[in-house]
């Protein structure tokens, strides 16, 4: 299976009022992006650490109603913040609200302030990755048990790059892998992912789409990333302005590829 080139935008729900976020979603869909992501945190990741911020899945439900074409998802949901069965039912619900446009993006979690302020056990990187591995079969089982069932098999995006454990989980469960990595690391870890795929009996080279974040114009970085196997390119933008000028360049680049 060959993956078509896709452009995403991560509208970071920080430092903005909701009407500014809503306007950014409208502009992104009108611009022609393929996917609109947010992120799953409770406080800004940069800028004023106590600035304005909104919750991930409540926003995704609103976006599902607001939009008609783009796919939607979190880049990425923190597995620690919701019981796996609850998360699955939230995903199933947003899948129906959107008419089958949800990507279930998930990761092990890392932002300690979120955990401390909201009363979650931070644990260790190892314990959080183990919990992610344990949660994914539960999520899939609950999705399969839902009534009504999801509109289709909801694609699962897993973010992270731990070579021994995280990439093994990606090989077992993911439809999309978001690397959070530079070109050299993407290339190396993509090969490691395929080794895990062989071990678990999945052809990850064709079944798992490679996703990367981009912060430079496509003329500067696109060609080597495509050569490394990436097909989903996401630009992150923050409030309050949500400047989509770089996103526009990537959409034009995608369209020029034919």
* CA dihedral sign of residues 109, 115, 119, 122: positive
Output the six-digit token pair for 104. 């279930």
Query: What are 11-69's pLDDT values in tens digits?
Result: 999 999 999 999 999 999 999 999 999 999 999 999 999 999 999 999 999 999 999 99
- Kindly report the number of other CB atoms within 10 A of residue 53's CB atom: 18
CA–CA gap between residue 212 and residue 114 (Å, rounded): 24
Question: Which residues make Cβ contacts (< 8 Å) with residue 132, sequence separation at least 6?
Answer: 79, 106, 107, 108, 158, 166, 169
Going from the N-terminus, what domains does the chain have, and what CATH number goes with each?
A: 6-256 (3.20.20.30)
**pLDDT at res. 2:** 74
- Residue pair 200/133 in contact (Cβ under 8 Å)? The answer is no
**Nearest partner of 31 among 253, 258, 219, 244, judged by Cα:** 244
**pLDDT at res. 122:** 98
- Cα 110–235–35 angle (5° rounding)? 95
CA–CA gap between residue 81 and residue 40 (Å, rounded): 9
Q: Is 149 helix (H, G, I), strand (E, B) or coil?
A: coil
**Nearest partner of 238 among 70, 39, 79, judged by Cα:** 39
CA–CA gap between residue 218 and residue 246 (Å, rounded): 9
**pLDDT at res. 180:** 86
Output the six-digit token pair for 241. 């302005």
**pLDDT at res. 92:** 98
**pLDDT at res. 159:** 97
CA–CA gap between residue 204 and residue 210 (Å, rounded): 10
**pLDDT at res. 1:** 58
Phi, psi of 208 (to 5 degrees): -110, 115
Q: Kindly state the percentage of the chain with pLDDT values over 70.
A: 100
Question: Low-confidence residues of the chain, pLDDT below 70?
Answer: 1
Measured in residues, the chain has a length of 258
Model pTM score: 0.97
**pLDDT at res. 181:** 84
């Amino acid at each position: 299976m060959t993956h078509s080139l896709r452009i995403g935008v991560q509208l970071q729900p920080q430092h903005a009022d909701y009407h500014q976020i809503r306007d950014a979603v409208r502009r992104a869909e009108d611009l022609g992006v393929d996917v609109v992501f947010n992120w799953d945190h409770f406080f800004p990741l940069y800028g004023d650490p106590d600035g304005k911020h909104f919750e991930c899945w409540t926003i995704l439900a609103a976006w599902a109603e607001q939009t008609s074409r783009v796919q939607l998802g979190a880049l990425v949901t923190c597995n620690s913040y919701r019981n796996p069965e609850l998360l699955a039912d939230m995903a199933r619900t947003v899948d129906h609200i959107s008419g089958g446009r949800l990507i279930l993006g998930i990761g092990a979690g890392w932002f300690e302030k979120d955990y401390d302020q909201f009363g979650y056990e931070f644990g260790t990187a190892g314990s959080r990755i183990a919990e992610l591995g344990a949660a994914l079969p539960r999520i899939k089982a609950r999705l399969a048990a839902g009534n009504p069932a999801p509109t289709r098999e909801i694609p699962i995006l897993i973010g992270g790059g731990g070579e021994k454990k995280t990439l093994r989980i990606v090989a077992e469960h993911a439809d999309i892998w978001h690397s959070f990595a530079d070109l050299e690391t993407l290339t190396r870890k993509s090969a490691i992912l395929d080794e895990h795929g062989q071990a678990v009996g999945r052809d990850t080279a064709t079944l798992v789409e490679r996703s990367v974040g981009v912060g430079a114009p496509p003329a500067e970085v696109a060609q080597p990333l495509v050569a490394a196997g990436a097909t989903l390119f996401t630009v992150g933008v923050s409030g309050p302005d949500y400047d989509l000028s770089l996103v526009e360049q990537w959409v034009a680049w995608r369209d020029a590829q034919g």
